[in-house]
C-alpha cells in the first residue's frame, strides 16, 4: 500500500474508534492497536525509506555498470555494460553461449535505464527488470552476477526491517 492508502485506512479506523461505545470489546481494542502499529511503521518508512531506496538503487546501478569489483576479470560474460563475454567462449559454441550473455547484458541495461529514468526512486518499479535480469543470468550461467544482485536485495530487506524496527518519536528523531 502507498503511504496515502495507509493513512486513509488509519484515518478510517481512528474515526470509527471515536464513535465506539466504551468500554471497548476485544475486536475494537485490536483494531486500535493495529491502527497504532500502522502509524508507527508508516512514520518509520517515511522517515528513512527514501534513503534506503536511494542506497539500494545506487548500489545496484554501480554493480551493473562497473561489475562485481572482486570478480570483474573472471566474469566478463556477466558484465552488462556491453561486453558479451563471447571472447571467452570456445570455438564452435561461441554463438550459442554469446546469446545468453548478450541477454544478460541487455537485461542489465534495462535495469540501469529503469533506475536512471525514474527520478521518484521507486524501488518497486525495478521488480520486473530485476526479475528479468536474474532469469537471464540463470540461463547464461552467470552465477556471480545473480549472487551479487540477490545480495543487494537481501541487504535491502535487512535495511527495511531495521528501519521498521526503529520507531520515530513525534519530535522527529528515533527513540
pLDDT in tens, 126-170: 999 999 999 999 999 989 999 999 999 999 999 999 988 887 776
Residue 47: predicted pLDDT: 87
Per-residue pLDDT for 174 more than 60?
no
Mean pLDDT of the chain: 81
Residue 97: predicted pLDDT: 58
Per-residue pLDDT for 79 more than 60?
no
Residue 39: predicted pLDDT: 85
Q: Could you tell me the CA-to-CA distances from 156 to 47, 95, 116, 133, 159 in Å, in that order?
A: 16, 36, 19, 17, 5
pLDDT in tens, 100-112: 899 999 999 999 9
pLDDT in tens, 7-26: 888 888 888 888 888 899 99
Do residues 42 and 163 lie in contact, with contact meaning Cβ atoms separated by under 8 Å?
A: no
Residue 172: predicted pLDDT: 54
Amino acid at each position: 500500500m502507498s503511504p496515502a492508502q495507509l493513512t486513509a485506512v488509519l484515518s478510517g479506523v481512528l474515526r470509527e474508534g471515536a464513535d465506539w461505545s466504551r468500554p471497548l470489546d476485544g475486536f475494537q481494542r485490536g483494531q486500535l492497536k493495529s491502527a497504532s502499529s500502522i502509524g508507527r511503521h508508516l512514520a518509520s518508512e517515511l522517515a528513512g525509506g527514501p534513503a534506503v531506496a536511494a542506497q539500494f538503487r545506487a548500489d545496484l546501478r554501480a554493480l551493473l555498470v562497473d561489475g562485481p569489483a572482486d570478480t570483474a576479470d573472471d566474469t566478463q560474460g556477466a558484465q552488462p555494460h556491453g561486453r558479451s563475454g563471447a571472447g571467452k567462449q570456445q570455438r564452435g559454441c561461441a554463438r550459442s553461449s554469446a546469446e545468453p550473455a548478450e541477454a544478460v547484458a541487455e537485461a542489465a541495461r534495462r535495469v540501469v535505464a529503469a533506475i536512471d529514468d525514474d527520478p521518484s526512486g521507486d524501488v518497486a518499479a525495478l521488480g520486473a527488470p530485476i526479475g528479468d535480469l536474474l532469469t537471464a543470468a540463470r540461463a547464461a550461467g552467470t552465477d556471480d552476477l545473480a549472487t551479487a544482485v540477490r545480495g543487494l536485495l537481501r541487504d535491502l530487506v535487512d535495511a527495511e526491517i531495521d528501519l521498521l524496527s526503529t520507531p520515530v518519536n513525534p519530535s522527529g528523531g528515533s527513540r
